[in-house]
Amino acid sequence: MKPAAVSSAVSSDSLEIPLIDFSAFVSGDATTRRTTARAILEGFQTAGFIYLRNHGIPKADVQTTFAESAKFFKRPQAQKELMCWTTPEANRGYSQPGREKTTDLTDAADIEAKRAEEGADLKESMEIGREGEPNHPNQWPDQFDEDGKVFKEQMLDFHDTCKELHIQVMSAIAYGLGIDEHYFDGFCDGGDNTLRLLHYPEVRHEVFLKNKNQVRAGAHTDYGSITLLFQDMAGGLQVLSPNGNFVDATPIEDTIVVNAADLLARWSNETIKSTKHRVVEPPLKADVHPARYSIAYFCNPNFDRHIDAIPGTYGEERPKKHEGINSGEYLAQRLAATY
Ligand SMILES: O=C(O)CCC(=O)C(=O)O
Ligand SMILES: [Fe+2]
């Protein structure tokens, strides 16, 4: 029997994504915490994805962040380009439509071929990293106007809020694995995470008719530990099923979609899955699809940490599949390939 805190968010084509009441882990009794943590871990081990409700981030805070994001993307193009994304090491700033082709290919020529097939991703984005990194300052619009200052304050605040949730979800994973529930704290407290605002502009149905491979964001896996994904109600996010088909990850109000990413899969000796996902034409038919907004908070182990298999995920029957690796180097390497 499923614990009370667990229901289903997506159940299709053998893809079972659980919907989890996170408050049961944070403030339940010992038994409830354990069963909830196990369900969270199992979601990451089987689907690679879970949905969280009662995650502790106030609805008003999420709404304000979405509103600030929409205001940001309405700025003049020339102004946004003064804040442009520069290097994988910095990974901060604005990317105009067509700049990034989201994919998990690593060869530049392969990525160009994919771009020709699927078209450029129909999106623009703004990346915000940990503030106060001397070599890689964030790019803020506070240089332009008062609104820019409000934007900066909200984004810094939201970055911190999401950092705490990262630590809590990792703690649930540790508890589910049966190791010290604070095992990951010292790996995640640095806040080397990236807040990415995404805007998929309004698009005509025709665009997808003309090129059946056209996507809003190409199929890819994420790179770090986990991603907290806030999506609006527009739809179009899809997750790869175990049978190899893309299944709609339908928006559910007031939830966060959380997916495990590549470095966590590696860290867990491949017991946790980093599953491909993409953004396509929304399933609801319309001549013109309205703009879609999402906010992805990419969590990473502290860049200075060495990442080697988590205790309990390897042994005589399951030898380590990977060498240890430095978190920051791994991530810069992965980012270098897609821009
Ligand atoms: O916009 C979305 O819903 C997904 C975005 C995403 O997967 C990403 O940026 O890595
Ligand atoms: Fe992603």
CATH number of the domain within which 303 lies? 2.60.120.330
Judge whether 1 lies within some domain: no
Q: Tell me, what's the pLDDT at 117?
A: 74
pTM: 0.96
- CA 232–ligand 1 middle distance (angstroms): 12
Q: Tell me, what's the pLDDT at 12?
A: 98
Gyration radius of the chain over CA positions: 19
Judge whether 315 lies within some domain: yes
Higher per-residue pLDDT: 61 or 114: 61
Residue whose C-alpha is closest to residue 79's, from 94, 61, 99: 94
Amino acid at 141: P
- CA 220–ligand 2 middle distance (angstroms): 6
Q: Tell me, what's the pLDDT at 2?
A: 80
Could you give the number of structural domains in the chain? Answer: 1
DSSP assignments along 53-79, one per residue: ES-SS-HHHHHHHHHHHHHHHTS-HHH
Judge whether 296 lies within some domain: yes
E strands of 244-331, at which residues?
Answer: 246-248, 256-260, 277-279, 288-289, 292-298, 306-307, 325-326
Stretch among 86-90, 197-201, 241-245, 264-268 having the lowest mean pLDDT: 86-90
Res. 120 pLDDT band, cuts 50 70 90: confident
Res. 216 pLDDT band, cuts 50 70 90: very high
277 lines ligand 1 (CB under 6 A): yes
Res. 339 pLDDT band, cuts 50 70 90: low
Q: Tell me, what's the pLDDT at 118?
A: 73
Enclosing domain of residue 315:
6-338
Specify the pairing of strand 49-53 against strand 15-21: parallel
- CA 239–ligand 2 middle distance (angstroms): 10
217 lines ligand 1 (CB under 6 A): yes
294 lines ligand 1 (CB under 6 A): yes
CB atoms within 10 A of CB 172: 25
Average pLDDT, the chain: 94
DSSP 3: -
Q: Is 23 helix (H, G, I), strand (E, B) or coil?
A: helix
Give the mutation target among 221, 223, 229 for probing the ligand 1 site: most ligand atoms within 8 A of CB. Answer: 229
Burial of residue 337 (number of CB atoms within 10 Å: 0-12, 13-18, 19+): middle
Mean pLDDT of 122-138: 95
Judge whether 307 lies within some domain: yes
CB atoms within 10 A of CB 244: 8
334 lines ligand 1 (CB under 6 A): no
Q: How far apart are CA 205 and CA 281, in angstroms?
A: 8
pLDDT digits (tens, 9 = 90+) for 268-301: 999 999 999 999 999 998 999 999 999 999 999 9
Mean pLDDT of 98-112: 72
Closest C-alpha to ligand 1, atom 5 = 296
Tokens of 118: 């699927």
Judge whether 84 lies within some domain: yes
- CA 257–ligand 2 middle distance (angstroms): 11
Q: How far apart are CA 237 and CA 215, in angstroms?
A: 10
Q: Tell me, what's the pLDDT at 101?
A: 62
